[in-house]
Amino acid sequence: MRRVVVVVPSLFTLFNLFFGIWSMVLASRGEFYRASWYIFFAGILDALDGRVARLSNTGSRFGAELDSLVDVVSFGVAPAFLIYALVFSNAGQAEWIFCFFYVMAAAIRLARFNVTQAGAAKAAFIGLPSPAAGMTLATYYPFTQTAVYQGALRGLPWHHLMQFLMILLTILMVSQVRYATVPRAGFRSVRGLLGLATIMFTIVFGILEHDVFFFPLGITYMSYGVLRAALLGLLTEREDDEEAEIAGPIVITDGPTLPPFDEEEPRTIVPGGGAT
C-alpha cells in the first residue's frame, strides 16, 4: 500500500504529460478547441499532483524533477506549438522565434524553481508560474469563439497583441516579480473565507462560462503581479527617500579624526622638563 501511495503523485504528473502531448497532436490536425482544453486539463493535474504528494507525505526529489520536466512540455512546448499553429505559422518565416523564447523562458523558470522553491512551503511564486502562462495561451482560442470576441474585440490587431503577450510572458517567467499562490480555503479566519470564496467563484464561473472566463482571468493574474510589483516599488522608494531626508547626508573623509571637545589633550613627558 505504501508503494502505491508513493506512485500516485507521479501518475498525476504522467497524465499531465499525456494531455500535453495529446494537445500537440490535436493542434497538428487543426483541432484547436480540444487542443486548448487539454493543456488546461494538464494544468489541473499539475496542481493536484503537488497537493496529493503533500497530503500523503510522499514528496520526493524524483517527483519534483519529473514534474518540472513534464511542465516544460505541457506548459512550454505545447502552448507555444498551439499559438504558432494558430497565429504565427502564416505570418512570416521568423515568427517562430517568439515561441522559441517562450519555451526557453519556461525551461529557465522551472530550473530556477527546482533550485530555489521546490519542496518548500511557498508564500509566493518568484516569477510567473509556467502553468499560468501556458494556460493563458491555451485559453486564447476558446476565447476567440465567444460572442464577446466576435463583437467588440474582433477588430483589434490580435496578431501584434499576441506577439506582445508572448514577449511579456517570456519576461515575467524569468523575472523576480512575485505572484500569489492558490489561496488557502477555510472557515476559521477571514483570510480562509476569502480564499474559499475566490476558489468557489473561479469554479462556478469556470464551469458555466469557461470559454469567455479563463483567458481574461489569465491576463488579470499576469497583470496583477506587474501592478503589485510597481506599486510596492514606488512605496519602497518613497520610504527610502523619507529615511534619507530624516537621516541627512553622511560625509566620509580620509582626514585625521579630531578628539571630542571634552577630552583632555594628550600630554607628553619631556626628559628634564615638565609635561607638555
Q: What is the pLDDT along the chain (276 residues), one digit of tens a residue?
A: 555 555 677 788 899 999 999 999 999 999 999 999 999 999 999 888 777 777 666 667 787 888 889 999 999 999 999 999 999 988 778 889 999 999 999 999 998 888 876 655 567 888 999 999 999 999 999 999 999 998 888 889 999 999 999 999 999 999 989 988 877 777 777 777 887 888 888 889 888 988 999 999 999 999 988 898 888 876 665 555 444 444 445 455 555 555 554 544 455 444 554 544
Cell 510597481 belongs to residue: 230
Task: Mention every residue, 6+ apart, whose C-beta is less than 8 A from residue 276.
Answer: 267, 268, 269, 270
Q: Looking at residue 188, what is its pLDDT? A: 79
Q: Looking at residue 261, what is its pLDDT? A: 46
Q: Looking at residue 198, what is its pLDDT? A: 85
Of 147, 158, 267, which Cα lies nearest the Cα of 211?
A: 147
Global confidence as pTM = 0.79
**CATH of segment(s) 2-145+155-238:** 1.20.120.1760
In angstroms, the CA 135 to CA 36 distance is 8
Q: Residue 249: what residue type? A: P
Instruction: Tell me the domain boundaries of the chain.
Output: 2-145+155-238
**The C-alpha cell that represents 161 in the structure block:** 497583441
Q: Looking at residue 11, what is its pLDDT? A: 84
